[in-house]
Structure 1
Amino acid sequence: MSFLSRIMVVKSQAHFAAGGAKRPAAFQGAAKKKAKQAKNRVGLMMLAFVGVYALVGGRLVQYGLTSPETVSSIMPADRLMASRPDLLDRNGELLATDIRTVSLFAEPHKIVDADEAVEKLATVLTDLDVKGTYKRLSMKNSRFQWLRRQLTPKQQSQILALGIPGIGFRPEKRRFYPGGSTAAHILGFVNIDNRGAAGMERFMDNQGLADLTALGMTSDAPLEPMHLSIDLRVQSILRDVLVNAMAKYESLGAGAVVLDVHTGEILAMASLPDFDPNNPTEGKEEGWLNRVSNGTFEMGSTFKSFTLAMGLDSGKVKLSDSFDARAPIRIGGFTIKDFHGKGRFLTVPEIFQYSSNIGTAKIADTVGTEGHKEFLERLGLTKRMHTELPEVATPSQPRVWKKINSITISFGHGVSTTPLQTAVAGAALVNGGKLIQPTFLPRTREEADKVAVDVIKPSTSKDMRFLFEWNGVNGSGRNARVEGFNVGGKTGTADKVVNGRYSHDKNFNAFLAAFPMENPQYVVLTFIDEPKTDKGNGAALAGTSAAPMAGEIIRRSAAVLGVEPKFGEGGTALLQSY
């Protein structure tokens, strides 16, 4: 290569080298500009995110401070799933529990074709209110409507398969009663929102469960169960006897209660007609009335037990006394006579045995009207009884007690009280004279002694045990006798009031029993409303209806209650043939 050529090559390389030295500065400026732009964009994005989250947080705070809006009947999901405590009998047997279920709802603003949705739902829910449902689904400004509460799993799967837009399910709890109607009036029932509406379910809510639920302080976690005083075995026996009696005597109603005389615990109680708490609306016409605690009746001659106890306790009457029962008593335009008069003087045990109205009236007259009124008040028979069960009626009595009132009340006419109160007062006659308010919750004897009130002398109680046993052996209580268990008691056949007059062919029959009479442990009271005879030829008497009912309950449940039978003279025999 010539010298000139070399010079040209060097100049050319110098030219390129000079141009390359200037380019890096341009490139660096562009990079800085792009980096700055990217940084600004990220800053803007961060600012936007902060703004959005601040807005969302602010709205959440606003919603938290705002009072909850009531939308239809819906409640927050946690409250829909809130648990109720299980109810158990005294032996731990399950009486009521919660089960999971779902309810169907709609969001009408999302429903495309309300008519088509109703048609599809009706294929699964055959009893669907088509018009009402269509009206709810057509409310486009509504965002929530209940369609059906508490579906079965099968119904839920069938509705899901329909694929209807705007239809959904919410989890809920449903109360389940394994025994059905067995203890309906004791347990009560809950409403559609699983809140106590009657019985011990309502009592439980009244003790604070409802308030805690309203405040959102309950959850889906299981709660401690509540034990009741009832024995499910005895309860089942008692109700079975009532069902059979109603069918046998073609009566309007029947009821019974088994009461521990030393603790006041209710071991069993039932009233017929009743209802299934799993579906309580089906029995609301007749079945909701608890005749044992919430029905008031003239208890008839069972009240003679209290009249004789009053006379003996006053000291003005002794077991050995006699009263003239030869002639009827005429007072205030009324004639008081005996159903099966003996036409002679009767001793106190004979007055009880033959259920003499005349003799009983004369004992009441011996004590006096004011003393009679005070004694019934002392036994709690003229005022509302206190117990856990909400359904308790208030007895009725004359506004002003006159002599004629005292006479008729002495044999069970003129005062209406509840059968449960009669049983509680009857327990005081045989347990040594202590009035113990009844309870549906477990209670020890020591706890009962703290709330017991002495209402009659122990000597009076001893005399009444003798009279109960006397009548059980010799009088109207014979049909309630159970071999080995020494049952005593008093019948009551009361004429019912129809159109303001006493009807002679419509009775309210009752039997107040206690056993075993040598050391009473339990009181059993049975009653039956308007029973007919086996042959259908008139009204049955208490001795042939209510007394056998009590005997059957005792025969089947005494061993379950732990009462040992005694056979033979002095209870020394070990075996008994049937």
Structure 2
Amino acid sequence: MKSFLRFDDVKKAFYLKRYRLRFLVSVFSFLFLYLGICTRLIQYGRENFKMKVEKSFSETYRGRPDIVDRHGRLLATDVKTYSLFAEPRRIIDVNETIELLSRVLRDLRLDEVWRKLKSNSGFVWIKRGLTPDQKARIMELGIPGLGFRVETRRFYPDGSIASHILGFVDVDNKGLSGIEKYIDQSGLSDLRAVWRAPALKQLVLSIDIRIQALVHEELKKAIKRYRAQAGGALLLNVKTGEVIALVSLPDFDPNNPLKALQPNRLNRMTAGLFEMGSTIKSFTTAMALDSGVFQLDTKIDASKPLHFGHQMIRDFHGKYRALALWEVFIYSSNIGSAKEAEILGIQHHRAFIKRIGLLERIGIELPEIASPIEPHVWKKVNSMTIAFGHGMMTTPLQTAVAAAALMNGGRLIEPTFLFKKNHNFLHGTQVIKPKTSSDLRYLYELNAKMGSARNTVVDGYRVGGKTGTAEKVVKGRYVKDRRFNTFLAAFPMDDPSYVVLTIIDEPKPEKGRVSATSALNAAPLAAEIIRRSALFLGIHPDFTKEDAKTLIDPRYK
């Protein structure tokens, strides 16, 4: 009996121990499963939150809008890049880390990275704007304490071709110049700051990148050919104010704008101030005709130089006789132009120059725009020298805009770099009489036939223009062998649609020539731009008008 009880007790103890073991296994299994489920739920919650944040970010933060030309060709867009950061406190071996990274990033500043990794910071940038290949190669290194963030970078497919128009952005994709800065100034930066930027549509510019590229190419060749310091060119629609192309050289690459802020790379066409030389005689002549005091056949005494103390006004190629007003323009007489201003008076002269838009800062989308410089007090000598292009400084774009008013019937239209879908010619301000505009078109075409603009003739097109050769001021004095050359052209002259303005800064005489005036460099440059761009603009050559002569009315002879 005792033996049987002992066996029964042993059996009970065995089963009890077995049940306890099963119970513990079940409990631990349940706890393990519970912890696994909790961990997964937390992970899923984090991933879901991250997805929501990313979705919310993508819905509210749209980045910068694409910039396209008037025909929809891409000029600027956002692309995703990878930026490498480090957590210095987690870096095990700084020297080894730098050595490994330098194998992938050849341009890494080692001393700067060493100082960052030796700091006690929780986060430092190592290199931003990496390619997917660079990111993959760094990840293969397996260096602890390094990580990547996806960022947005601006990309300009055409490089420097339109750099002064487009501008550039900083490392945080904020616009610093050009149209890029205009976008931010229009409110994008404020919206981005609070993550409320709406879905941004593409920004359509007025420029035609095909014409922009050929102007860039021709200007580059001209600067090399004439061994000039710099140059610029623009093409403007006289009926809408749209800038079709604008180039200033030297320029920069907005994809890598390290040289953008160098003084010699400023946008000379909008931010440069220059004495525009004899191109200003266009406005002096317009003033004279618009006043009603002068007609095309009015005689002006240009037989001898004008003296003001030690100063003397004389003609470059003087006729030393009385000239009709049309001859003053064709022969580019400084004396005749000064006499026109003298007869009309200082107040009338300044009022006209202001009305035509040459004395006030023009409003355009680009922030790089200079304000004209004029004498604080206009005296007689100031008025007379300004009449032929010295003593007043304006921007080339401003000069072209004023010239457009002379060609389009007399309306001053604000320039724009934005595409105008619906053209409204009536929005301009009438600044001269239509008859005055007609007379100026006649003189421009006549100047191309028998005056200083003969080198701007383009077969199949009726081109007119006015040259300008200004001596530059060095240490307060005009220097004869350093010139700033300009040329104003319009076409087609039977109904002008476009104005072309070219500038050549300090050109040198070509081999076999002793002179480097505007007619020998700035004018041929304008002619080549017109020849290559006309078809892109929808203007076809008309050779039936090639033999048509620009007649001089017998009354004007």
Q: Is the 8 A contact 2:460 2:545 kept in 1?
A: no
Match of 1:4 in 2: none
Equivalent of 1:104, from 70, 75, 84?
Answer: 84
Which residues of structure 1 form unaligned runs of 5+? 1-33, 61-75, 573-578
Tell me, in whole angstroms, the C-alpha distance in 2 between the residues paired with 1:413 and 1:571: 37
Match of 1:155 in 2: 134
Match of 2:319 in 1: 342
Residue 170 (1) aligns with residue 149 (2): yes
Match of 2:96 in 1: 116
Tell me, in whole angstroms, the C-alpha distance in 2 between the residues paired with 1:230 and 1:99: 23
Tell me, in whole angstroms, the C-alpha distance in 1 between the residues paired with 2:344 and 2:215: 38
- CA deviation after TM superposition for structure 1 residue 284, in Å: 3.3
User: Cα gap change, 1:445/1:314 in structure 2, threshold over 3 Å: closer, same or farther?
Assistant: farther
Tell me, in whole angstroms, the C-alpha distance in 2 between the residues paired with 1:194 and 1:454: 42
Q: Is the 8 A contact 2:460 2:546 kept in 1?
A: no
- CA deviation after TM superposition for structure 1 residue 559, in Å: 1.1
User: Cα gap change, 1:484/1:570 in structure 2, threshold over 3 Å: closer, same or farther?
Assistant: closer
Match of 2:281 in 1: 304
- CA deviation after TM superposition for structure 1 residue 282, in Å: 3.4
User: Cα gap change, 1:481/1:570 in structure 2, threshold over 3 Å: closer, same or farther?
Assistant: closer
Tell me, in whole angstroms, the C-alpha distance in 2 between the residues paired with 1:175 and 1:330: 58
Q: Deviations over 1:503-529 (max 9, x none)?
A: 100000000110011110100000100
- SS across alignment from 1:486: coil
- CA deviation after TM superposition for structure 1 residue 286, in Å: 4.5
Match of 1:529 in 2: 505
Report the residue type matching 2:437 in the other structure: S
- SS across alignment from 1:235: helix
Q: Percent identity between the aligned chains? A: 52
Q: Is the 8 A contact 2:62 2:200 kept in 1?
A: no
Tell me, in whole angstroms, the C-alpha distance in 1 between the residues paired with 2:190 and 2:424: 28
User: Cα gap change, 1:95/1:394 in structure 2, threshold over 3 Å: closer, same or farther?
Assistant: same
Match of 1:95 in 2: 75
Mapping 1:551-562, distance limit 5 Å: 551-562=527-538
Report the residue type matching 1:124 in the other structure: V
- CA deviation after TM superposition for structure 1 residue 414, in Å: 0.3
- CA deviation after TM superposition for structure 1 residue 109, in Å: 1.4
Match of 1:67 in 2: none
Match of 1:208 in 2: 187
Larger Rg: 1
Match of 2:494 in 1: 518
Q: Is the 8 A contact 1:89 1:230 kept in 2?
A: yes
- SS across alignment from 2:374: coil
User: Cα gap change, 1:446/1:127 in structure 2, threshold over 3 Å: closer, same or farther?
Assistant: closer
- CA deviation after TM superposition for structure 1 residue 83, in Å: 2.1
TM-score by length of 1: 0.83
Match of 2:554 in 1: none
Match of 1:21 in 2: none
Report the residue type matching 1:554 in the other structure: I
- CA deviation after TM superposition for structure 1 residue 283, in Å: 4.3
- SS across alignment from 1:535: coil
Residue 404 (1) aligns with residue 381 (2): yes
Mapping 1:307-326, distance limit 5 Å: 307-326=284-303
Tell me, in whole angstroms, the C-alpha distance in 2 between the residues paired with 1:404 and 1:193: 52
Report the residue type matching 1:337 in the other structure: R
- CA deviation after TM superposition for structure 1 residue 82, in Å: 4.7
Tell me, in whole angstroms, the C-alpha distance in 2 between the residues paired with 1:528 and 1:569: 31
* Further displaced range: 124-133 or 264-273: 124-133
Tell me, in whole angstroms, the C-alpha distance in 2 between the residues paired with 1:489 and 1:282: 35
Match of 2:336 in 1: 359
Q: Is the 8 A contact 1:190 1:196 kept in 2?
A: yes
Match of 2:124 in 1: 145
Match of 1:64 in 2: none
* Further displaced range: 279-288 or 512-521: 279-288
Q: Is the 8 A contact 1:273 1:286 kept in 2?
A: no
Mapping 1:367-386, distance limit 5 Å: 367-386=344-363
Q: Is the 8 A contact 2:61 2:192 kept in 1?
A: no
Residue 228 (1) aligns with residue 208 (2): no
- CA deviation after TM superposition for structure 1 residue 100, in Å: 1.2
